[in-house]
Chain A
């Protein structure tokens, strides 16, 4: 690890100010950034920790919306997002206990790892990403592997999830990392069903609109018969070919529907 400056502001405004300098990097729970720095693959001049900002922590529900502070660790979501059980269940199965106690929802979404769990929940729920500057719809937020709509120095302060009628997340773990080899999040709302897939695509998290249409008219496994995602554009690596990942998308979507129903 190279030397770096460290700041731990207590308000969002202070954090924004601290991040305005060049080569400053926001630090959430550090579950991706710190290992990267230890391997000398990242060398920020300044780290701005967001964990001291009380306003960015906590889980609350009102009016059919679950709001999670951007600096809230996965463990807290797992324990407190009782109004949205499928999301709590997803959070309870990210990484291991150490990761869940440190890693944050804002950090996960801002990083947008193509195999992370949270992006699928945000996209399938039609969540709103709240930053210090604006509100961004999930559909506009995820822009490909490790790429988001966030500007330099922009901080995710909260995420607002409309609470669905039914939802479920199915993760098929990559055997080594236990990240999602493929993860499928299905959420059913009065206005329709949304299906988001993580882990599979070279473009990062995506919506399987064909399945959404079928499930919106009939929320049953039978509605998915004959549907499949093309292997083209799916990730192929040591742990699974693109065909295998495409196949898993179908299997996991069915399982999510069964579990949610």
Chain B
């Protein structure tokens, strides 16, 4: 049994007490003296030229402090993109400017035209309605393939076309892949859409800008997953504020799912305007604004082909994907369909040859960027659907076909650049077979059929790549940032610890899980350790939370800093016990000398560090505080196998998820309860994508799913009780905790299982259906069944 509060214990989440008792401190809870409110006047057309803006009447309205237009931002930097892709031909991607407020043109519904700053939000909204904006509406383009046609409207006048880049990976393999297809005994082809999603965190985005005229210091409070990244992007690229004059605070954040990674124009606006008017400026997104201004996710259209030999071994894989960038390049948008997608296309299989082509396309829609999984769900969905289709065509068991092609020896160098350190895909499939009760399916199907329902069984595997790294590699791949993490461990005089981390917790439970690691290392109670995050003035430079990286990267930095602490504490203890440092051991919070009865407590040593009366001042400094930066040697590679059972109502096409089981390998697990919760949430989002969610635009670029009346979020009643297991553990070999990351697995691994199950259910009724695009709404399933 793990020690309560130590590694392996399902310690209850300490942060939940404040979240559930209404005592959290979210950005919207922050109100500053003399604060003003901003309302953004947003474009209601998808594409248009701004002919004039008349603010005369609006400016004179009650409470209006100032109205900003694009003219106020001439000379101010563009909202930057953090990743530059080099295309198949060695050319850099096309990168449009992304002004804080529109400069001459609007490019999507929701694009900011003007910003009204007033004493109250209602006054700002009133005045915004009195602004006269004359926009010449231009033809918009929404469909990616149409956007690439000759003569299509151009989203950006100054780019040569709507093609952001045409990426090939691995380009050198292209010819060999084509040859393998020519020699294949069987080729399975599947065209599919990875539907556009809107993240919808419970807390909408908020930004509060503040400026201190006395010191010249700027502060931005914002709903961010990575305040340091915002400080760097906004300070260096948009507003020209050096880091030492800019503090970014992301306090309690109510969910991110990727969409709060990015630097948004509203953040830059509030920071800029606070100085311009010398008063704090606050913006709180409405839910309606969130739908048309938060970066969307996914939105890929792909054709995938799998080549097999006569023995059903996978011999080659190729995929052509169109990836929607939306109207501007959001912070990490170019990395999602490329490095986070192409490198995953080997999946769990020893396919020797892979070629991935991605055309990234500008359209008159909201920018698209990382959303829980980011590229990896898109890869997994293609791969696991085409494998299922291949099994259908070949008349073989889809699980057996997978097992036959599993990678079984590690480390494994894939043909798509990455090297998997550890894994055991048969073990997770064995575990799934047991926890999902494969054997009982036939009986359950018979029960469903007796009720007039079709029952389907779907299985898939997935491989994840978390903690994207190392920095020198990602720099070569186009990242404009490093991907390390930092931690400062501050031991206080009476023995408690304050740990400042660049990882940000917005639902992941870091404040509980991180202390469990340190508590184990020192042998003290976890309650003596406090995690501080989300403030650039507290933690050293950090990269934040996304890509399931916090424990693997941020946790490793924390371990390294704690190791430094323990090393120094041992020196102090050795002095106190008049022993040799090499003989000092630390166990259960006690330092002792091997082979003697000498010991000093943790608290004695920490006190000595700050009250250094009896202290080796000639050898070491007083105090006990250490910082570490950790840059991983490789990604981590969680993996697993998922199983979904659905019932389909043949009369209406309605799908219900009856059972869902997950067998994951996350390496070592610090807090199993939190890990289960992360998987639960991920599966909910995956089922949401598979059955319910889908952002839709009409041909003029109007968002048809602009509210919960039309955008279907999963609710508790849409979801079954899950069976999740993470007892298969092949620890990561290159980080000190042997952990891999669990935040995105559920969202990556679940959509194909759901779709595979629905197809299986329909085929059980004799329907010759091999694919339906997500979301598998009742109407779509019924249409497929009736060729309607």
Contacts and interface: CB of A to CB of B under 8 A. Distances in A.
A176 to B, nearest CB: 4
A248 B711 CA distance: 21
A189 interface: no
A176 B710 contact: yes
A240 B705 CA distance: 14
Nearest to A182: B652
B788 A244 contact: yes
Contact of A176 (B652, B712, B778, B788): B712
B652 A251 contact: yes
A238 interface: yes
Contacts of B691: 175
A241 B708 contact: no
A134 interface: no
Contacts of B708: 176-177
Given A176-B692, A176-B710, A248-B652, 7 more contacts: A39-B288, A40-B129, A175-B712, A177-B710, A239-B779, A241-B788, A244-B779
A203 interface: no
Contact of B777 (A1, A175, A179): A175
Contacts of A166: none
A254 B711 CA distance: 30
B32 interface: no
A138 to B, nearest CB: 26
Contact of A172 (B122, B129, B652): B652
B782 A175 contact: no
A40 B128 CA distance: 12
Nearest to B129: A40
Interface in A170-186: 172, 175-177, 179, 181
Interface of B: 122, 125, 129, 288, 651-652, 654, 691-692, 696, 704-705, 708-713, 775, 777-779, 782-783, 786, 788
25 contacts: A39-B288, A40-B125, A40-B129, A172-B652, A172-B654, A175-B712, A175-B775, A175-B777, A175-B778, A176-B708, A176-B709, A176-B710, A176-B711, A177-B708, A181-B778, A238-B696, A238-B710, A239-B779, A240-B777, A241-B779, A244-B778, A244-B779, A244-B788, A247-B782, A247-B786
Nearest to B709: A177
A202 interface: no
Interface in A150-198: 172, 175-177, 179, 181
A45 to B, nearest CB: 15
Nearest to B654: A172
A243 interface: yes
Contacts of B705: 176, 238
A238 B788 contact: no
A244 B783 contact: yes
Nearest to A177: B709
Nearest to B649: A251
A241 B651 CA distance: 15
Q: Which of B705, B713, B777, B788 counts the most A-chain CB atoms under 10 A from its CB?
A: B777
A240 B779 contact: yes
A243 B129 CA distance: 41
B778 A240 contact: yes
Q: Which of A177, A179, A238, A241 counts the most B-chain CB atoms under 10 A from its CB?
A: A238
Contacts of B783: 241, 244
A251 B652 CA distance: 8
A145 to B, nearest CB: 15
A40 B124 CA distance: 13
Contacts of A241: 779, 783, 788
A226 B763 CA distance: 26
A238 B783 CA distance: 13
Contacts of A243: 788
Contacts of B696: 238
Interface string A203-247: 000000000000000000000000000000000001111011001
Given A175-B777, A176-B710, A244 B125 contact: no
Nearest to A254: B651
Nearest to B718: A175
A242 to B, nearest CB: 11
A63 to B, nearest CB: 39
A254 to B, nearest CB: 9
Contacts of B713: 176
Contacts of B788: 241, 243-244
B425 to A, nearest CB: 34
Nearest to A252: B652
Contacts of A240: 777-779
Contacts of B778: 172, 175, 181, 240, 244
Q: Which of B705, B709, B775 counts the most A-chain CB atoms under 10 A from its CB?
A: B709
Contacts of A179: 709
Q: Which of A1, A175, A247 counts the most B-chain CB atoms under 10 A from its CB?
A: A175
Contacts of A175: 691-692, 712, 775, 777-778
A40 B775 CA distance: 32
Contacts of A172: 652, 654, 778
Interface string A83-110: 0000000000000000000000000000
Interface string A112-153: 000000000000000000000000000000000000000000
A238 B125 contact: no
B710 to A, nearest CB: 5
A243 B780 CA distance: 12
A86 B129 CA distance: 47
Contacts of B777: 175, 239-240
Contacts of A248: 652
A179 B788 CA distance: 24
Contacts of B125: 40
A111 to B, nearest CB: 15
B123 to A, nearest CB: 11
A239 B777 CA distance: 8
A115 to B, nearest CB: 10
A247 B651 CA distance: 9
Nearest to A244: B779
Contacts of A176: 692, 705, 708-713
B600 to A, nearest CB: 59
A175 to B, nearest CB: 4
A203 B530 CA distance: 62
A131 to B, nearest CB: 29
B285 to A, nearest CB: 14
Q: Which of B288, B691, B712, B788 counts the most A-chain CB atoms under 10 A from its CB?
A: B712
A96 B191 CA distance: 39
Contacts of B710: 176-177, 238-239
A180 to B, nearest CB: 13
A175 B694 CA distance: 11
Given A40-B125, A175-B777, A239-B777, A244 B782 contact: yes
Q: Which of A39, A179, A181, A240 counts the most B-chain CB atoms under 10 A from its CB?
A: A240
A233 B76 CA distance: 54
A247 B712 CA distance: 22
A243 B785 CA distance: 13
Contacts of B122: 1
A173 to B, nearest CB: 9
A238 B195 CA distance: 14
For the complex of A and B, the 9 pairs showing the least CB-CB separation, nearest first, are A176-B712, A240-B779, A175-B712, A177-B709, A251-B651, A244-B779, A176-B710, A175-B692, A238-B704
A40 B129 CA distance: 10
A38 to B, nearest CB: 9
Q: Which of B652, B712, B778, B779 counts the most A-chain CB atoms under 10 A from its CB?
A: B779
A99 to B, nearest CB: 13
Contacts of A239: 710, 777, 779
A125 B551 CA distance: 61
A135 B778 CA distance: 40
A181 B710 CA distance: 12
Nearest to B125: A40
A39 B691 CA distance: 29
Interface in A42-73: none
Contacts of A1: 122
